Amino acid sequence: MAADRLVANTDGEARLLADLYGADAQRVAVVSPGVDLAVFAPRLRGGRVGARRRLGLPADREVLLFVGRIQPLKAPDVLVRAAAEMLAVDPTRRERLTVVVLGGPSGTGLEKPQALQDLAAALGVADVLCFRPPVGRIELADWYRAADVVVVPSRTEAFAHALLLCPLLRLACLPGVSVLGRENARFACESCSLKFVRSRSEDSIRMKVAY
């Protein structure tokens, strides 16, 4: 049965639906993802201080945050390995570093749901890792407020929603997206005053917050 309407995130995705799947272009609507500004704002509910108090995070901790489905494509293992490298360079950082992985296994990640915990243990960083299950958007906004840096290490993304949230919450964001749909990435960047920074060493897109 043919759908009455198909929804795409960008004009590029709309074209792909028509070109690759034979969708009727007249039935494709472009609706770009957005952010609820009544929830995701930096100063709401006491800002970072209030968020850390509610989440039980000390005010002086350096908090790195990953939010997403735990599966290979999202590459949370890259963050765990990066944390291990950070501590190898500066062992004193262990006393103040907290790496939060917020989300649950999905897709191929269900095959080895404990793989990330096992990796953290093998690398000797289990003590700085904090694994939390998925939460509702009110608490999710608190986690974003509480973080010093949000890390998006995905190996591929259709639309990196975290890139929309970080500037709105005045957060630094470290994307590591090697295969990010360029039009989708450009939309996210232009919507939130982000810049493209092309790596000189590889044909991938790098972005940074441009406040």
Q: What pLDDT, in 10s, does the model give residues 165-180?
A: 555 555 544 444 333 3
Identify the pLDDT of residue 170.
Answer: 52
Segment 122-142 shows an average pLDDT of: 93
H helices present in the chain, as ranges? 11-21, 47-55, 76-89, 115-122, 137-146, 162-168, 182-191
Q: What is the mean pLDDT of the chain?
A: 76
When pLDDT is cut at 50, 70 and 90, the band that residue 208 belongs to is: very low
Segment 6-33 shows an average pLDDT of: 87
Give 90-120 pLDDT, tens digit per residue. Answer: 999 999 999 999 998 887 666 666 889 999 9
Report the candidate in 173, 174, 183, 181 with the shortest Cα–Cα distance to residue 156.
181
Identify the pLDDT of residue 200.
Answer: 36
HSE (side-chain half, CA atoms, 13 Å) at 131: 19
Non-local (6+) Cβ contacts of 53 within 8 A are 46
Segment 50-60 shows an average pLDDT of: 94
Segment 42-55 shows an average pLDDT of: 90
89 or 179, higher pLDDT: 89
Measured over all CA atoms, what is the biggest interatomic distance in the chain, rounded to whole angstroms?
Answer: 61
Segment 24-34 shows an average pLDDT of: 86
Tell whether the model's pLDDT for residue 87 goes beyond 70. Answer: yes
132 or 193, higher pLDDT: 132
Q: pTM of the entire structure? A: 0.71
Structural contact between residues 165 and 144, judged by C-beta atoms closer than 8 angstroms: yes
Tell whether the model's pLDDT for residue 149 goes beyond 90. Answer: no
